[in-house]
């Protein structure tokens, strides 16, 4: 009899623990990456980059609604959304308006466009290094400096002769 009571208490405690774990899993989100080489997590450099971005980032994915490509893109972008909550993902179906897609220059199903602070970058390959590099390029602001050396045998940056760089400098200034 004593053994039956101990067994019943054990089963009851096990059910209470399972119910409590199920309840807590709906309230709190806890994720751990136990995969080999942490392949399901973002690199520390990517996390640092996302922390430096101080405005919202919009990702527009040009993907057809058929097939599993949208799900693959959504799962990929979800890792970034966990680190940066104001990163949004929007899908556009290329079949719905082919003329607009041609005008936008979309040539590939699954092409991504990242938008940040009025600037945009296009991605044709879905990968962390490509996505993070595009975000890094978008985060850079300010003017870039172009310097020229002048001297003996160097091309003149403002010269108009055949070998000079005057037309190139004029194009850069425009």
Mean pLDDT of 29-47: 72
* Pair 110, 157 in one domain: no
Query: CATH number, domain at 135?
Result: 3.40.30.10
Mean pLDDT confidence for 38-56 = 84
Q: What is the pLDDT of residue 116?
A: 93
Per-residue pLDDT, averaged over 91-120, amounts to 84
Instruction: Please state the rounded mean pLDDT for residues 89-112.
Output: 83
Using the structure block, give the residue that is written with the tokens 């055949």.
162
Same domain flag for 53 and 134: yes
Mean residue pLDDT across the chain = 85
Q: Is 22 helix (H, G, I), strand (E, B) or coil?
A: helix
Domain span at residue 53? 39-139
For residue 102, give Cα distances in angstroms to 39, 75, 164.
35, 27, 39
Same domain, 10 and 58: no
What pLDDT, on a 0 to 100 scale, did the predictor assign at position 144?
74
* Pair 22, 97 in one domain: no
Residues 90, 51, single domain; the answer is yes
Statement: residue 146 has pLDDT above 70: yes
Number of domains in the chain: 3
What pTM did the predictor assign?
Answer: 0.65
Same domain? 128 vs 158: no
pLDDT of 39 above 80: no
131 and 149 share a domain? no
Q: Within this chain, do residues 56 and 111 fall inside the same structural domain, yes or no? A: yes
Residues 50 and 123 in one domain: yes
Q: Is 56 helix (H, G, I), strand (E, B) or coil?
A: coil
d(C-alpha 173, C-alpha 130), whole Å: 30
Pick the closest to residue 57 from 100, 113, 101 (CA basis).
113
Secondary structure element (H or E) that encloses residue 167, with its range = helix 166-173
Question: Given its phi and psi angles, is residue 117 left (phi above 0), alpha (psi -120 to 50 degrees) or beta?
Answer: left
């Amino acid at each position: 009899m004593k053994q039956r009571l101990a067994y019943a208490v054990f089963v009851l405690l096990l059910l209470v623990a399972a119910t409590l774990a199920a309840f807590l899993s709906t309230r709190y989100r806890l994720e751990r990456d136990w995969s080999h080489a942490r392949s399901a997590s973002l690199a520390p450099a990517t996390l640092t980059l996302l922390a430096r971005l101080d405005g919202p980032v919009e990702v527009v994915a040009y993907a057809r609604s058929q097939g599993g490509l949208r799900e693959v893109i959504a799962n990929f972008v979800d890792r970034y959304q966990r680190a940066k909550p104001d990163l949004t993902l929007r899908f556009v179906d290329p079949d719905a308006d082919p003329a607009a897609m041609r005008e936008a220059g979309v040539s590939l199903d699954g092409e991504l466009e990242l938008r940040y602070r009025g600037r945009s970058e296009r991605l044709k390959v879905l990968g962390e290094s490509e996505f993070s590099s595009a975000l890094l390029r978008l985060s850079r602001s300010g003017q870039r400096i172009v310097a020229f050396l002048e001297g003996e045998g160097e091309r003149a940056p403002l010269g108009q002769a055949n070998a000079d760089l005057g037309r190139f400098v004029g194009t850069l200034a425009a």
